[in-house]
Structure 1
Amino acid sequence: MMRTRITELLGIEIPVVQAPMGYIARSRLASAVSNAGGMGIIETSSGRLDDIKVEIARMNDLTDRPWGVNIAQLLVPDATVIDFVIDHGVRFVTTSAGDPGRFTAVLKDAGITVFHVVPTLRGARKAVDAGVDGLIVEGVEGGGFKNPHGSSTMVLTPLVRAGVDVPIIAAGGICDGVSMAAALVLGADGVQMGTRMLSAAESPVHGNWKQAVVDAAETDTVLLNRFGRPGMRALRTELTSELEHQDQVQMPGLDRLMDQYFGGRMDVAVPFGGQVMGRINSVEPVADILNRAWEECRRCLRRLGQAASQ
């Protein structure tokens, strides 16, 4: 068994963390990731804390493997979710969209491992100074909320690795073993998958969204709010192609979000997704995705090692 600092620290078999996608990273998907040997994550970015608390409570019935929760600070004004996370025995928390110093100390005092999401080297250093255990280093090619002035995973990962000495999870552009091996070579200790998990069989989104990912080319995303906040990378549709030219894009109402996420109406809201959708060709079970990726990753690394020894 190949081990990394991420597998050792988090107690998982495959160094893959599932991205905390709003309304998507719920117990069905997260438990499938954990049961397959990765790290499933429950989201809070939807802001639906009553629903999220149910999903957190449900995880203990669905898996006996490690799992975690993301605290999206900008979107979760109610800090009582921290008490709920602690009370339900969560052992791993990722924090994002806010000050890494806000919750790190209280979470670590409760015995929880804390990683913070960063889009820059400056952010990485700030998070390390705040006492986090590790970082999720997020390239701008990934889907969802983004720093519109960020750099790619290939630039950011080795930059952060050279600047700090904590475990790193690379995020953005990763969907299989080849991209996973590349991230490890760049200095990551594990990876995060978002768009690949969105399009997995256990993902709760409508099949139309999954098929749109499968059909998309690597050029079929747009970066919204280039000059506003927050930046967002999404699938190119008729709607998002229009929004691309606006300085400040407002998120649609909940009814339209639900029509898109679970009703399959792809042009009524903003369907998040990363450039890596151009490399995703099918909808598959989470276990197949993770097991094949890890096997392929190790094969790639062995091949590189053999070539280097010749």
Structure 2
Amino acid sequence: MQGNRLCQMLGIARPIVQAPMGWIARAQLASAVSNAGGLGIIETSSGELDAIREEIRKMRDLTDKPFGVNIAQAFVRDPGIVDFVVEQGVRFVTTSAGDPNRYCRALKEAGLIVFHVVPNLAGALKAIEAGVDGLVVEGGEGGGFKNGRDVSSMVLLPLVRAHTDLPIIAAGGMLCGRTLAAALALGADGIQMGTRMVSAAESPVHQNWKDAILAARETDTVFLNRFGPGPALRALRTEKTSRLEKDPGPNIMAEFGHARDLYFAGDMEASIALSGQVAGRIDSVRPVRDILDSIMAEYEAAVAALPRAA
């Protein structure tokens, strides 16, 4: 995307980033995103660093395009995680689920570009003070781990933009060319997509999860554990998550003990299927390249068709 500073910063053709979903954001999916002109991200939240190292090796077999790595701080088990990421030779890292001061300086001293994921203005200001190169501004309509006091992208993006000139990647509610155009109008430089990528043809998750996304209405996600302890979550509505919505129990993270049975064996009641509200707009499983092609075509058409305000 000519003239887009996020594309120039990251060396990509399209300002579209794939969310770093645990166990899902590995070489099969991330390489498809990078090869289609976006930026694939490899997760580390699974904690399986030996497997992650192999996935990054696979990435370099599958693509010669840029890609990044995420450090989800709440799930870090290895105190050497910064050294691990630096050793992989990537240029870009997102940090999330924790204090931006924890790793920012060390990562930047190693020459990496660092973006931190923020759910509100206070988090954004803290990340800016920590010295990040940019922000992933995540609205509460997005799937996955959330702040219990959620703010929609429509409110959060222009609020954060009013306080910084740093590049912003918009997350939460991002799906198509219209949402890309809206995100840029609200102050972002690009978008990050999670649920759309979970449902993509190259996503490694079981077809049952993809089918559940296709069947979902815009009202078919639940916001779990708003009052803690632990993180809040947005997920698809199932029998399990409907129960957890009313009573999340003392440790909602224990519900991920059988995550693989849901992710890869298709038992939708075995764990929590994290998903954003955009599930209600997804009606087909498509290859990543087709998704990104259609986003850019729709973006151009949407911008060209905007009516004048006066």
TM-score (norm 1): 0.96
Aligned pairs for 1:204-215 within 5 A: 204-215=204-215
Alpha-carbon deviations, 1:82-136, whole Å to 9, x = none? 2122122110000001111111111111111000000010110110111100000
C-alpha deviation, 1:247, in angstroms: 4.7
Match of 2:128? 128
- Distance in 1, matches of 2:42 and 2:124, equals 23
Aligned counterpart, 2:232: 231
Q: Over aligned residues, Cα RMSD in angstroms? A: 1.5
Q: Secondary structure at the match of 1:60?
A: helix
Contact conserved, 1:226 with 1:247, CA < 8 A, in 2?
Answer: no
Distance across 2 between alignment mates of 1:9 and 1:301 = 23
Equivalent residue for 2:241? 240
Q: List per-residue Cα deviations over 1:233-261 (Å, max 9, x = no partner).
A: 00000000000012544234666211110
Letter in 2 for 1:7: C
C-alpha contact 1:218 1:277 (8 A) present in aligned 2: yes
Query: Offset of 1:57 from its aligned partner?
Result: 2.4
Matched, 1:263 2:265: yes
Between the aligned partners of 2:255 and 2:232, the Cα distance in structure 1 is: 18
Instruction: Check conservation: 1:158, 1:187, Cα contact below 8 A.
Output: yes
Counterpart AA for 1:235? L
Counterpart-to-counterpart distance in 2, 1:309 and 1:252: 51
- Asked whether the 8 Å contact 2:257–2:271 carries over to 1, the reply is no
- State the secondary structure of the residue aligned to 1:244: helix
Match of 2:290 among 285, 288, 291: 288
Structure 2, unmatched stretches of 5+, are: none
Structure 2 CA distance for partners of 1:214 and 1:45, relative to 1, 3 Å: same
The correspondence of residues 31-110 of structure 1 with structure 2, limited to 5 A, is: 31-110=31-110
* AA in 2 matched with 1:85: V
Q: CA deviation at 1:308?
A: 3.8
CA distance in 2, matches of 1:215, 1:181: 26
| Contact kept? 2:256, 2:271, Cα under 8 Å | no
- 1:13-32 correspondence to structure 2 within 5 Å: 13-32=13-32
TM-score of the pair, normalised by structure 2: 0.96
CA distance in 2, matches of 1:31, 1:179: 23
**CA separation in 1, counterparts of 2:19 and 2:196?**
9
Aligned pairs, how many?
308
1:278 corresponds to which residue?
A: 280
Q: Please say which of residues 249-258 and 48-57 is displaced more in the overlay.
A: 249-258
- Structure 1: stretches of 5+ with no match in the other structure: none
Which amino acid is the alignment partner of residue 231 of structure 2?
A: P
Does the 8 A contact of 1:21 with 1:43 survive in 2? yes
Percent identity for Structure 1 against Structure 2: 61
